[in-house]
Amino acid sequence: GENVEQHPSTLSVQEGDSAVIKCTYSDSASNYFPWYKQELGKRPQLIIDIRSNVGEKKDQRIAVTLNKTAKHFSLHITETQPEDSAVYFCAATGSNYQLIWGAGTKLIIKP
Amino acid sequence: DSGVTQTPKHLITATGQRVTLRCSPRSGDLSVYWYQQSLDQGLQFLIQYYNGEERAKGNILERFSAQQFPDLHSELNLSSLELGDSALYFCASSVRGAETTRDTQYFGPGTRLTVL
């Protein structure tokens, strides 16, 4: 069936360093790939998304890259700050207009 | 603030009971999605409604049901509650969600359900 694998499940980085979270999807027809950030006890919030007609998108310290051939996409956060600590979810569109979600990555920023 | 509202914020009830969670989508959004998130777990898609009609089903139990009303608000009904139903329940809305595969979903603040 359709699935999205997300790695790592937990990522701990030093403040100021970069963080990379990777997702692999199974449906070659997927064409929309959002990333959501969820702080403890809060709602998931969209932080960046990419559509299949582009390979990379940047928004300040956040970037997403997409490799359709390999069916994977990644979130890159540079110059990490304490407020980046959260759980990050990737997702990809499935066959019925649904989003197939990754299991989440807990990002810990060490001071 | 995403513009999606959910009530109540917290709900504490006993096993075997029935509860109703309510969601109002962003103004103009036609699709509503319901998700369940158990402690330290991911987002489990339950069901989607588009303009009043059921659009897609995920891992929704038979004890759970939902509907979307003419004013586009939605309710999720959970019956014969079990301890394992304790979770955060989110709804999300999007503009379309049926004609396009690239619709952004905006999440509400969630309802925390505790079953004792």
Min Cα distance B79 → chain A (Å) is: 24
What is the share, in percent, of chain A residues with pLDDT greater than 90? 78
- Higher model confidence: residue A95 or residue B27? B27
Q: Nearest C-alpha of chain A: how many angstroms from B62? A: 20
Question: B102 vs A43: CB contact, 8 Å cut-off?
Answer: no
What backbone torsions phi and psi does residue B85 show, to the nearest 5 degrees? Answer: -85, -10
Of A46, A51, A103, the CB nearest to B42: A103
Instruction: Kindly report the nearest CA distance between residue B50 and chain A, in angstroms.
Output: 11
Whether residue B100 lies within 8 A of chain A, CB to CB, comes out as yes
Residue-wise pLDDT for B34-45, tens only, equals 999 998 788 999
Give CA–CA dist A94/A71, Å, rounded.
13
Confidence of residue B95 (pLDDT cuts 50, 70, 90): confident
B97 touches chain A (CB under 8 A): yes
Question: How does residue B99 score in pLDDT terms, banded at 50, 70 and 90?
Answer: low
Residue type, A107: L
**Whole-number average pLDDT of chain A:** 93
Residue type, A11: L
Q: B44-54: per-residue pLDDT in tens?
A: 999 999 999 99
Q: Which residues contact B24 (CB under 8 A, 6 or more apart)?
A: B4, B5, B6, B72, B73
Contact assignment for B56 to A98 by CB distance below 8 Å: yes
Three-state secondary-structure class, residue A62 = strand
Tell which of A90, A93, A99, A100 to mutate to test the B interface (max B CBs under 10 Å): A99
Q: Supply the pLDDT for residue A29.
A: 86
> Which of A44-48, B10-14, B58-62, B67-71 has the least mean pLDDT?
B58-62
| pLDDT, tens digit (0-9, with 9 covering 90-100), for A33-43 | 999 999 998 99
Contacts with A99 from chain B: Cβ below 8 Å: 45, 105
